[in-house]
Amino acid sequence: MTLLLTLLVLAAGVLLTQKGIPWLFRMVLRLCGIRLRTSPLAEKRLRRFRSIRRGYISFVIVTSCFTTS
């Protein structure tokens, strides 16, 4: 039961970190009239970072643990 609860909390942390907080941040900025645009170079770097699975998964784990703590 404790393991299941822990996994549930971590899954919620991943969803909040990867989807919830960025969405909320974008909505608040849009309400203020600010549009975020990324440059083509930044998009290329983000795609490359996400393609390096070990680094990306480590980033997701660290940010999720930080958010849920």
CB 17 within 8 A of CB 63: yes
Question: Which alpha helices (H) appear in the chain, and where do they start and end?
Answer: 2-15, 21-31, 40-51, 53-68
pLDDT for res 41:
96
Count of the separate structural domains present in the chain:
1
Amino acid at position 48, single letter: R
pLDDT for res 13:
85
pTM exceeds 0.95, yes or no: no
Q: In 10 A of CB 64, how many CB atoms?
A: 20
Residue 25's domain spans which residues?
2-68
**Cα-based torsion angle of the residue sequence 10, 14, 15, 17 in order, rounded to the nearest 10 degrees:** 130
For the record, the structure tokens of 37 come out as: 């645009």
Per residue in 7-59, pLDDT (tens digit) is 888 888 888 888 888 888 889 999 998 888 889 999 999 899 989 999 888 98
